[in-house]
Amino acid sequence: MQTNSLNHGDTETRRNFFLRAFASPWFFHVLLWLAPILFLLSYFFLPLSKILILAFNTSALTKANFQLILPIVSFTFYQAALSTILTFILGIPSAILFSRFNFRGKPLLRALTAVPFMLPTVVVASSFNALFGNHGLFSFMQSISSSFILHPSSFSLILTAHVFYNTTIVIRIVGNALSRLDPKLEQSARSLGADTFHVWKNVTLPLLRPSLLAAALLVFMFDFTSFGVILLLGGSNFSTLEVEIYLRVLKLPNLPLAALLSIVQLIFTLIFSILYTRIISQVTAQTNPRFSASRPPKTPRERAFVFTLYALLITFFLLPLASLPIRSLTRLEADRGQRGEVQYGFTTDYYEELFINRRGSLFYVPPIQAARNSLGYASLTVLLSLALGYPAAYALAKPTRLEKFLDPLVMMPLGASAVMLGLGFIFSFGRALASPFFVPIAHTLVALPFVIRTLQPALASIPERLRQAAATLGASPFRVWQTVDFPILSRATLSAATFAFTVSLGEFGATLLLTRPEYPTIPIAIQRFLSQPGGLNFGQAMAMATLLMLLATLAILVIEKLRLSDSGEF
Amino acid sequence: MLEVRDLFKTYENKPLLRGISFSVSKGETVCLLGASGSGKSTLLRMIAGLEFPESGQFLFNKIDLAQTPPHIRDFGLVFQDYGLFPHLDIFNNVAFGLKMKILESNSSLFGMSRQQAVGLQSRVTEMLELVNLQGFEKRKVTDLSGGEQQRVALARALAPQPRLLMFDEPLGALDKSLKDDLLNQIRTILHKTKIPAIYVTHDQDEAFTIADRILLLHDGEIIRDGTPDEVWTNPNSASAARMLGMGNVIEGMVISANKVKTEVGTLTLNCKHKHSKNEKVSLLLKQSPSPSGRGVRGEVEIKLKVEDVLFKQNQFEVKARGAALSGEAVSKGGLVIHLKDAPKIGQIIRVKVQVECLA
């Protein structure tokens, strides 16, 4: 009896031990992290290490390579700096406009300026092509009227597209800081004898400095790593780090050089990110959410400022976006096989052509197949990123010491460029890349940080009290999840899913390196159409880009709607 | 010195200030007392030149200020939430106005002379001593308590020797004991420096403590202008009396030369101006200091019906309604009186009060 009871006690303690271990937050969190970490290890850190190994190989670290890299780095800096300055020239007045003044249509105008940032790069590049490109609306107008002289260079198009993309960042960061600035500080300064200039110099500017720096750094970072816009608007003439990596993989193969370039790029983006996190912490430390000093413009000068900028912003943001669908429905070419007058008029040819599998065309399938591929990849990306993002977000919502260490790791893919991800896959998986599944995996890597950051606050916002209350009312753990967590999470989940979907739809850099010719996605199809001569190819690119724009806009609307009703409720 | 003439201002298409006129003379502290949202702060900002009225004039030493931008007016401003510059330390906050003056007077754009720098240093030290914050020069704004921050704001406003000081609810964010302290400090400093001041508040105690003259702002108009003593003893209007919470204001109807019919009975009174028959008048009922006191002039007995009795340490607060009339002309909130002994609810009681005519 005695031994029995001892034994019994023993198994009891052993069972208790396992139960306790299972219930301990540590063990539970390790379980949660298992899948996401395995995924990141095999699809991010392994490829990264392959790139590192190749980059620090003797075949990469040659004098000739360094001589090649230097002008590329300096051109990348040059175009990014120039783009940033131009973005600020438009962004600062716009930030003042949105933070200081109230006028009719303000929310709509603000939304309009934010749209490009959320659109896929291929759509933005196609829009600029539709307007300014060789087959664009502007060059057509030039051909019928010689008084119309405007032929922007590719480089100025790239810069303009960057401004188009990133102005919203300046508006958001600097504008927020401006509207959170206590108006009493400026009033105090004025009553203490400071004129308008000295108020700016001694009060406003120093207080805005962190926000200005943060905005500048972020814009610079986006311009520095810009790929789709530069490749599609400039061709291979403009070698930034990103473009050069792509060229050294597919056009002038030199993989060690490509590896070295991507490490250089990674180092720079890391430096920028570290600087950015430092500055942004100052911004959040300073912000004061109490003030909103916007009012209708009063003096004639204020009215002129508001009106001029309003008109400028509408034109600048609406013109490219509108010309894409317009161009996709406009015939602007000579008849097939004829070298005659340019015919123009309304046409749906470009759309119809997407459904036809022509011999000698760019694809082995009707081009519209690209849309089906894109949708398939996007759905897989949604499933995969939610499956991996959920456990990670759950763990991050109740951080232990483990999460402090893991959180930056999970966010690391953000710092790597898409082209670099593609390159890493090529090094790591070689022939296996024939499988189409690597594309959604790469997309998931890009989308995962966003998905986690969307789910995590929602998960953290559920008070433990609610779960406990449900449990004391007789709900099993599953029921607790079903009745408490799920309703609160469904909105965040939908938002995260849409995010992942949009990312996958628009992803260009990694897909370009990984995609199989017979499985093109929409962005890849657009790129192929654009890189071919002929009005029909151009028109099909426009039609395809319009489709993508519609899909992306729909997704943006869903996300915005979810966010709006969110803020309304809480 | 400062004269405000016939000021009109609307806010979101509603009249906010309707014909405000007053003046502040040398060394005088004028207190503007009004409910929140009554336009007091807007009035201050307009005097400072930070906002503009629809019509009206501001004169300082008989000179119209319309063309003078705020930074040339030399009017100091102290806000409720301090408005200290968070990016500057205490020294540079206090020195701000002085620096601006030096920059203005210097022909060169850059820097200041050694002499000016020394002068600046000593002036800042002097100001910090004045507000009892010596040695705080290198501290950060965010490290100070509310009371300390407000004293820095005061020192900052005083440093450039303004021609006029304006306070916008300066003690609103502080707790009671700090309030009393700082209020006395401000009072002493204002007396010492002889700077004319406009002090805006909704707190009656504050206003009566600090003011040489009180202006009551109600519904966009100044309804009473006088020394604290004058205003308290003679509020002159029902709304002023109500605003000051002076006691029970009731309405009555004149029935003959000096008889007024009210809910508490028919009262005899001697108003300054004559009232015609059937005119409605407002009366202020002040409870006599000692309930049994005799021989106080103008004292009459009124009849009340007790509605509620509250225990207040050394006496009872009694809520009651007039018992002389039923139904008509009953005052809105009822009357409140204080008694030594608790009456029963529903009981009819007689209380002696002084009756004053309100215009």
Q: What residue spans define the domains of chain A?
A: 27-56+360-570, 69-331+339-347
Give the pLDDT mean for B117-129: 91
pLDDT over 70 at A445, yes or no = yes
How far is residue A125 from each of residues A219, A234, A241, A549, B308, measured CA to CA in Å? Answer: 18, 10, 19, 11, 78
Average pLDDT of chain A to the nearest whole number: 83
Give the pLDDT mean for A385-398: 89
Provide, as residue numbers in chain A, all residues whose Cβ is less than 8 Å from the Cβ of B73: 191
Q: Are B65 and B58 in contact (CB under 8 A)?
A: yes
CATH dotted code for A69-331+339-347: 1.10.3720.10
pLDDT over 80 at B123, yes or no = yes
Structure tokens at A429: 């998986």
Structure tokens at A540: 């099909």
pLDDT over 60 at A3, yes or no = no
Provide, as residue numbers in chain B, all residues whose Cβ is less than 8 Å from the Cβ of A289: none
Cβ-nearest to B85 among A190, A191, A203: A203
Share of chain A above pLDDT 90, in %: 29
In terms of C-beta distances under 8 Å and separation of at least 24 residues, what long-range contacts does B169-177 make, across chains too?
B169/B41, B169/B79, B169/B80, B169/B200, B169/B201, B169/B202, B170/B78, B170/B79, B170/B80, B170/B199, B171/B80, B171/B201, B171/B203, B171/B206, B172/B80, B172/B201, B172/B203, B173/B80, B173/B81, B173/B82, B173/B146, B174/B146, B174/B147, B174/B150
Element (H, E) at B215: strand B213-218
Structure tokens at A465: 């009290």
- Nearest chain A residue to B86 by CA: give it: A207
pLDDT over 90 at A88, yes or no = yes
What are the DSSP E strand ranges found in A380-503? none
Q: Do B100 and A190 touch (CB under 8 A)?
A: no
First to last CA, chain A: 62
- Judged by CB atoms within 8 Å, which residues 263-282 of B form the interface with A? none
Nearest-CA distance from B33 to chain A in Å? Answer: 21
Give the pLDDT mean for B341-349: 85
Where b means 16+ CB within 10 Å and e means fewer, A431-441 reads eebeebebbbb
Q: Do B160 and A193 touch (CB under 8 A)?
A: yes
pLDDT at A2: 45
**Longest CA span, chain A:** 109
For the CA atoms of A107, A113, A118, A119, the dihedral, rounded to the nearest 10 degrees, stands at 120
Give the pLDDT mean for A223-249: 88
Q: Cα–chain-centroid distance for residue B313?
A: 29
pLDDT over 80 at B323, yes or no = no
pLDDT at B108: 54
Q: Cα–chain-centroid distance for residue A415?
A: 12
Beta sheet of B348-358, edge-to-edge order: B265-268, B259-262, B248-256, B280-287, B348-358, B299-312, B315-322, B335-339
- Distance, in Å, from the CA atom of A269 to the CA atom of A267, rounded to the nearest integer, reads 6
Provide, as residue numbers in chain B, all residues whose Cβ is less than 8 Å from the Cβ of A195: 69, 71
Residue A418, Ramachandran bin (φ over 0: left; ψ between -120 and 50: alpha; else beta): alpha
- Tell whether B161 lies on the interface with A, counting CB pairs under 8 A: no
φ, ψ at B156 (rounded to 5°): -65, -40
Provide, as residue numbers in chain B, all residues whose Cβ is less than 8 Å from the Cβ of A185: 83, 85-86
Give the pLDDT mean for B327-354: 76
Q: Do A207 and B83 touch (CB under 8 A)?
A: no
Q: Do A190 and B70 touch (CB under 8 A)?
A: yes
Average pLDDT of chain B to the nearest whole number: 84
Provide, as residue numbers in chain A, all residues whose Cβ is less than 8 Å from the Cβ of B198: none
Give the pLDDT mean for A423-434: 83
Q: Are A523 and A508 in contact (CB under 8 A)?
A: yes
pLDDT at A9: 52
- Provide the pLDDT confidence category of residue A461 given band limits of 50, 70 and 90: confident
Q: Do A185 and B83 touch (CB under 8 A)?
A: yes
pLDDT in tens, B198-207: 999 999 889 9
How many C-beta atoms surround the C-beta of residue A224 within 10 A? 22
- Distance, in Å, from the CA atom of A508 to the CA atom of A523, rounded to the nearest integer, reads 6
Q: Do B104 and A193 touch (CB under 8 A)?
A: yes
Q: Do B75 and A191 touch (CB under 8 A)?
A: yes
- Nearest chain A residue to B167 by CA: give it: A188
Nearest-CA distance from A210 to chain B in Å? Answer: 11
Cβ-nearest to B83 among A188, A198, A206: A188
Q: Do A191 and B69 touch (CB under 8 A)?
A: no
Beta sheet of B63-64, edge-to-edge order: B14-24, B2-11, B55-60, B63-64
Cβ-nearest to B85 among A185, A190, A198: A185
- Distance, in Å, from the CA atom of A499 to the CA atom of A505, rounded to the nearest integer, reads 10
Q: Do A194 and B69 touch (CB under 8 A)?
A: no
Interface with chain A: mutation pick from B79, B81, B124, highest number of A CBs within 10 Å: B79
Is it true that A27-56+360-570 and A69-331+339-347 share their CATH fold?
yes
CATH architecture observed for domain A27-56+360-570: Orthogonal Bundle (1.10)
pLDDT at A441: 93
pLDDT at A518: 80
Helix axes A106-118, A535-569, angle to 10 degrees: 120
- Distance, in Å, from the CA atom of B280 to the CA atom of A416, rounded to the nearest integer, reads 83
- What lies within 8 Å, CB to CB, of B204 at 6+ separation is B33, B244, B245
In the block, tokens 């760019």 appear at: A362
- Distance, in Å, from the CA atom of B223 to the CA atom of B237, rounded to the nearest integer, reads 8
pLDDT in tens, B228-271: 998 888 888 888 888 887 778 888 888 877 788 887 778 877 67
Give the pLDDT mean for A240-258: 88
- Nearest chain B residue to A192 by CA: give it: B97
- Name the 3-class secondary structure at B359: coil
Nearest-CA distance from B178 to chain A in Å? Answer: 23
- Name the 3-class secondary structure at B209: helix
Q: Do B160 and A190 touch (CB under 8 A)?
A: no
Structure tokens at B311: 């225990």
pLDDT over 60 at A446, yes or no = yes
pLDDT over 90 at A216, yes or no = yes
Structure tokens at A384: 């995969």
Provide, as residue numbers in chain B, all residues whose Cβ is less than 8 Å from the Cβ of A198: 71, 100, 103
Helices (H), A481-534: 486-506, 509-514, 522-530
pLDDT over 70 at B289, yes or no = no
Give the pLDDT mean for A195-220: 91
pLDDT at A475: 78
- Distance, in Å, from the CA atom of A219 to the CA atom of A237, rounded to the nearest integer, reads 23
Nearest-CA distance from B224 to chain A in Å? Answer: 29
Nearest-CA distance from B177 to chain A in Å? Answer: 26
φ, ψ at A2 (rounded to 5°): -65, -50
- Distance, in Å, from the CA atom of A567 to the CA atom of A121, rounded to the nearest integer, reads 29
Domains (range + CATH), chain B: 2-233 (3.40.50.300), 247-358 (no CATH)
φ, ψ at A141 (rounded to 5°): -60, -35
- Among A487, A496, A424, A429, which residue's Cα sits nearest to residue A456? A496
- Among B205, B220, B222, which residue's Cα sits nearest to residue B37? B220
Cβ-nearest to A187 among B77, B87, B160: B77
Give the pLDDT mean for A323-348: 69
pLDDT at A566: 47
- Tell whether B170 lies on the interface with A, counting CB pairs under 8 A: no
| Rounded (5°) CA angle B108-B111-B112 | 85
Q: Are strands B259-262 and B213-218 parallel, antiparallel or unpaired?
A: unpaired
- Distance, in Å, from the CA atom of A49 to the CA atom of A43, rounded to the nearest integer, reads 11
Which positions in chain A have a beta carbon within 8 angstroms of at least one beta carbon in chain B? 182, 184-185, 187-195, 198, 202-203, 206-207, 286
Q: Do A191 and B48 touch (CB under 8 A)?
A: yes
CB pairs under 8 A between A and B: 71
In terms of C-beta distances under 8 Å and separation of at least 24 residues, what long-range contacts does A186-189 make, across chains too?
A187/B45, A187/B48, A187/B50, A187/B70, A187/B77, A187/B79, A187/B83, A188/B77, A188/B79, A188/B83, A188/B84, A188/B85, A188/B153, A188/B156, A189/B85, A189/B96, A189/B100
Provide, as residue numbers in chain A, all residues whose Cβ is less than 8 Å from the Cβ of B79: 184, 187-188
- Provide the pLDDT confidence category of residue B21 given band limits of 50, 70 and 90: very high
- Provide the pLDDT confidence category of residue A288 given band limits of 50, 70 and 90: low
Provide, as residue numbers in chain A, all residues whose Cβ is less than 8 Å from the Cβ of B104: 193
pLDDT over 80 at A6, yes or no = no
In the block, tokens 């449990």 appear at: A471
The residues with which B357 forms a beta bridge, in sequence order, are B283
Among A306-315, B178-187, B272-281, B327-336, the least confident range: B327-336
pLDDT at B109: 56
- Nearest chain B residue to A202 by CA: give it: B96
Cβ-nearest to A184 among B72, B74, B81: B81
pLDDT over 60 at B161, yes or no = yes
Q: Do B87 and A207 touch (CB under 8 A)?
A: yes
